[in-house]
Amino acid sequence: MKKSKLNREWHLSHRMPARATFEQRLEWHLEHAKSCRCRAITGKIAEEMKKRGMSMPDS
């Protein structure tokens, strides 16, 4: 059986709001990275995490 990188259950229970603010997206990605590896944190989200000294999960 192939192991999927996508944590389907997590995604079903953590939907990104349609008009998510930057803060909401930041939080979403933070939670996401803990539970799922389907996509890496990039761009502004990654920059902001660095600025705040948040640890970046390996992508």
- Which member of 38, 42, 56, 59 binds Zn ion (CB under 5 A)? 38
CB of 36 vs Zn ion, minimal distance in Å: 3
Round to whole Å and give the CA distance between 51 and 21: 18
Residue with tokens 């939670």: 31
Residue with tokens 């997206």: 25
Contact flag: residue 36 with Zn ion (CB under 5 A):
yes
CB of 29 vs Zn ion, minimal distance in Å: 10
Q: Which residues contact 24 (CB under 8 A, 6 or more apart)?
A: 16, 17
Contact flag: residue 40 with Zn ion (CB under 5 A):
no
Summarize as ranges the residues that interact with Zn ion (CB under 5 A): 36, 38
